Amino acid sequence: MQTVPQSYQNERPVPAVAPPVPDMLALATAAAAGQPLAQRQVFRMLKRVVHGTLYRIVGNNRNIEDLVQDSFIEIYRSLHNYRGDAKLTTWADRITVRVAYRHLRRRDFLLSDIEAAAVWEPAESRADAREGLRRLYAALNRLNPEQRVAFALFAIDGRSLIEVAAVTDVTVVTAKSRVWRARRALRKIAMQDPVLSSHLTDEEKESGR
Cβ 55 to another protein shortest distance, Å: 5
Nearer CB in complex with another protein: 13/83: 83
Nearer CB in complex with another protein: 18/134: 134
Q: How many CB atoms lie within 10 A of CB 104?
A: 20
Nearer CB in complex with another protein: 5/156: 156
Cβ 106 to another protein shortest distance, Å: 19
Pairwise CA distance, residues 158 & 102, whole Å: 23
Nearer CB in complex with another protein: 171/192: 171
C-beta of residue 142 within 8 angstroms of C-beta of residue 184: no
DSSP string across 37-105: HHHHHHHHHHHHHHHHHHHHHH-SSTTHHHHHHHHHHHHHHHGGG--SSS-HHHHHHHHHHHHHHHHHH
Residue ranges in contact with another protein by CB under 8 A: 25, 28-29, 32-34, 39-40, 43, 47, 51-52, 55-56, 61, 64-65, 68-69, 72-73, 76-77, 80, 82-83, 120-122, 125, 129, 132-133, 136, 155-156, 160-162, 165-166, 171-173, 176, 180, 186, 190, 196, 199-201, 203-204, 207
